[in-house]
Amino acid sequence: MVNKKRKTLRNLLYTIPITAVSLLPGCKKEYIKEDTIPPKINIISPFKGEIFYNTPTILIQWDIQDKIDLKDTWISVNNGEKFHMYSKSGSLNWCIKGGDNKVVIGAEDIYSNASKDSTNSYVWLDLIKK
């Protein structure tokens, strides 16, 4: 006797919806392409090489562009801990030390494309004016 595969109602119920959807006229198969472009970061403030006089805080301002949603955005000052912002654009006042200061802003999109940008500034404390 030939071994025949028996069709059951259970097999039929799983097969019919898949076939019906793939045969509907006008249905277009769309494939989601994985994004490979990292976010573009623009540090608006402080400017590269900007000098501040007698101030304990500086304004840090940024704008991040990406075609898809971001998973994480962060800021780090003077190689300190990352402060997570979860914002594509914004600003905040940051307490800084006198001398050289480095601001790094990073972003990662939902496809794990990551980028970062940095800027250096200098703070003169107790500047003597003549």
* pLDDT tens per residue across span 52-78: 988 889 999 999 999 888 999 999 999
| Predicted confidence (pLDDT) at residue 130 exceeds the cutoff of 80 | no
18: enclosing H helix or E strand: helix 9-23
Strand arrangement, sheet containing 50-53: 50-53, 114-124, 99-109, 70-77, 83-84
Torsions phi, psi of 15, nearest 5? -80, -40
CA distances from 79 to 82, 112, 120 (A): 8, 22, 12
Model pTM score: 0.70
Q: Are 62 and 101 in contact (CB under 8 A)?
A: no
Q: Which CATH architecture has domain 40-124?
A: Sandwich (2.60)
How confident is the model at residue 16, as a pLDDT?
43
